[in-house]
Structure 1
Amino acid sequence: KKGKAMGTFSVGGNGGFAIGPILAGICAYHLGIHSLVIFGIVNLFAAALLYSRSRKVFADTRVADRKKVSSGETGETNDWPSFGKLSVCILARSMGFTLSNTFIPLLWIGALGATASQGTTALSILFGIGAVCTYFGGMLSDRLGYRTIIRTAFCIMVPAYFLLTNTTNLFLATALLVPCAISVFSGYSPMVILGQTYLGRNAGFASGVTLGLSTTLGGIFAPIVGWAADIWGLTAALQILWIAGILGAIAAFTLKNPAMEKAK
């Protein structure tokens, strides 16, 4: 049940995106901006705890992997063309994730006439629902297939973000956060697992790309979208969200089924 395991693992991170803005706002408002150093202290403590508990596990795993590679027992191959197509899906999903995280509060304020606190709340709603979608997306991928969940996510992403970026109704925009969260977060776990499957001999590299770039690659486009928003307006600039969904859907429907390929 790799999908369920990855979904469970990812809930913590996405839950942090949901709770973080609220906690940071409370700390900064009541204790001052310098109180945010507490997050750094918590992170250092968590990193030290993780390191102390897991270094033996990492060492044992590396030894076992080296023995398999040296003896040729891995039996895994790399499918770089399929991984390249999956990378397009990763880019499209990353754009949805990063641009939502960056511009949804501004969209709420500028286009919907909401307050700053309502904009922050919208972001927390998106990531709160996203944490749930991450778990269930991984769990469902074990039953329905990784490609099915990824394709469904992008098919939802296109109309959801088209409506979100073209509505002026605050209540409708808030309701649209649900399908937007489903589209961005439900495909995360199956993308990671599918990437590791396509690059069976380089699963570590695949993990670095799917786990790391899936949350940072879209950041490259954030300054471009911000520049476009200054020229043509934020609503026009954010049309890139549903366009990215179309590109992701096209790539998703060309992905190979690794199980079928192995059976052949």
Structure 2
Amino acid sequence: MSTSSHRTRRRLGLWALTVTHAANDFYTGAVAALLPFFVLQADYSYAAIAGITLAATALSSVAQPVFGYLSDRYGMRWMSLAGLLAAGTGIALSGIVADSYAAVWIVMAVSGIGVAAYHPAATVEARELGGGTSGSMSLFSVGGNFGVALAPSAVILVIGTFGLSGTGFLIIPALVLGLVFAMVSGKHLFSRTAPTERASATSRPSVPDDWKAFLWLTVVLATWSVAYVGTSTFIALYSIERFSVSTGFASIALSLFPAAGAAGTLAGGWLADRFGRLRIIRTGYLLAAVSTIAIVLAPSPTVVIVATAVLGASLFLPFAVQITLSHSYLPNRIGVASGVTLGLTLSFGGLVSPLLGSVADQSSVQTVFLILAGLLVAGFALSFVLKERRSTPAENAERPDPAVELERANG
């Protein structure tokens, strides 16, 4: 294969993964967008809808690192497609079985497991195709932001037209984009060769995994997770409770949150490649804490919308950066690092969500955002324990990825 064809294949593959990431995370956004409708149309309590969030994330907390291990060991690229289809199926069934809370909990759990199966294999593939840079990881990550951002509008359109039972139409993105992904990937999708087995001896990591540093990063990410899940779960309900706005108006903030996050993700990857990852991580957490406080003190729903947009951009500023940092800490366990970074820590927010729901029931949703602000301040403080590590071949400028350098030399 010529250098030009190889470069084109890599770019096409990265874009295909980005599109499927949008479809996969569309279903994560759909969970949050459906919650007000379960409250208004199915009479669920705040604690009950927080339990739905738990259902969509609890099993993922265990499953994603497992899927990451399987990705490291066996490759199993097909997990991306299977996970996408499972995520879509769970959401599609949720409104149809809304009369049974137990059934809703189960299908939401299925969707969460699907999301868990998708991320590790897709992230490993994106890292290979993008050369391990924060910029390429940002491109892949931003697909997820766009998917989450599109979910509220799609949910409102579907539920507004057909009611909760219309969630079956929400499986369309999984079916259409899953088919596109399968066509682009071809037989490569079902390759059983693990990435670490395909790599040449010169491109394999020659440094040990730093589990202590990875543990500290996981703790920092736990604060990010609670802030993200808490905002996604309660921002629309906050506007409704405090300012008595309509569901449609309240969903504006829910849509802007991940949309602004997309801009923050792209900016964070670009800035990190130029100014360093730790600076971007700390800046993101500090700005996110300030934005959350602004939501608490907002005098009008319009200010809530603006503050939520700023929160989305600042919270996602370090998102892709934290993924590449986790890869540098565990260069021999890229799939596991991806599974924990994208799964276990994100799912931690889902585990805490019922507690936040109880706080909202007993006090107010405004109190929930005070708690989130405090956690983000803690994340900012803990980020100073993190250290930079540029000892993996894909990151170290003195030991570049051979395929990337070949492309540059011939490009």
- TM-score scaled by structure 2? 0.59
Amino acid at match of 1:21: P
Offset from partner CA, 1:141-179 (integer Å, 9 cap, x none): 111111111110111122211121233322322221232
Alpha-carbon contact 1:111-1:168 (below 8 Å) kept: no
Offset from partner CA, 1:89-119 (integer Å, 9 cap, x none): 2111111111111000011011233222111
What is the aligned partner in structure 2 of residue 177 from structure 1? 308
Say which SS state the counterpart of residue 256 (structure 1) adopts: coil
Alpha-carbon contact 2:284-2:314 (below 8 Å) kept: yes
In the alignment, structure 1 residue 245 sits paired with structure 2 residue 380:
no
In structure 1, which of residues 84, 99, 102 is the aligned counterpart of residue 233 of structure 2? 102
Offset from partner CA, 1:53-97 (integer Å, 9 cap, x none): 1652673862x6236699995303211111111112211111111
In the alignment, structure 1 residue 65 sits paired with structure 2 residue 196:
yes
What is the aligned partner in structure 2 of residue 19 from structure 1? 150
Alpha-carbon contact 1:90-1:213 (below 8 Å) kept: no
What is the aligned partner in structure 1 of residue 159 from structure 2? 28
Number of paired residues? 262
- CA apart distance, 1:182: 2.1
Amino acid at match of 2:221: I
Alpha-carbon contact 2:142-2:262 (below 8 Å) kept: yes
The CA distance in 2 between the partners of 1:236 and 1:42, in whole Å, is 36
The CA distance in 2 between the partners of 1:80 and 1:184, in whole Å, is 25
1:61-140 matches, cutoff 5 A:
62=194, 65-66=196-197, 73-140=204-271
- TM-score scaled by structure 1? 0.89
List structure 1 runs of 4+ shifted beyond 6 angstroms: 69-72, 260-263
1:167-246 matches, cutoff 5 A:
167-246=298-377
In structure 1, which of residues 56, 62, 66 is the aligned counterpart of residue 188 of structure 2? 56
Distance change >3 Å, CA 36–CA 129, structure 1 → 2: same
The CA distance in 1 between the partners of 2:202 and 2:145, in whole Å, is 39
The CA distance in 1 between the partners of 2:204 and 2:292, in whole Å, is 46
Cα RMSD (Å): 2.6
In structure 2, which of residues 139, 156, 172 is the aligned counterpart of residue 8 of structure 1? 139
Say which SS state the counterpart of residue 158 (structure 1) adopts: helix
- CA apart distance, 1:123: 0.7
What is the aligned partner in structure 2 of residue 254 from structure 1? 385
The CA distance in 1 between the partners of 2:379 and 2:145, in whole Å, is 21
1:28-47 matches, cutoff 5 A:
28-47=159-178
- CA apart distance, 1:260: 8.2
Alpha-carbon contact 2:207-2:391 (below 8 Å) kept: no
Percent of counterpart pairs with the same letter? 26
- CA apart distance, 1:49: 4.2
Say which SS state the counterpart of residue 221 (structure 2) adopts: helix
Alpha-carbon contact 1:93-1:245 (below 8 Å) kept: yes
Say which SS state the counterpart of residue 333 (structure 2) adopts: helix
Alpha-carbon contact 2:149-2:258 (below 8 Å) kept: yes
Unpaired runs of 5+ residues, structure 1, are none
The CA distance in 2 between the partners of 1:233 and 1:37, in whole Å, is 33
Amino acid at match of 1:213: L
Alpha-carbon contact 2:262-2:313 (below 8 Å) kept: no
What is the aligned partner in structure 1 of residue 60 from structure 2? none
Amino acid at match of 1:59: S
Distance change >3 Å, CA 69–CA 90, structure 1 → 2: farther
- CA apart distance, 1:216: 2.4
The CA distance in 1 between the partners of 2:303 and 2:262, in whole Å, is 21
- Higher RCO, 1 vs 2 (CA within 8 Å, ≥6 residues apart): 1
Alpha-carbon contact 2:257-2:313 (below 8 Å) kept: no
Instruction: Choose 47-56 or 121-130, whichever is displaced more.
Output: 47-56
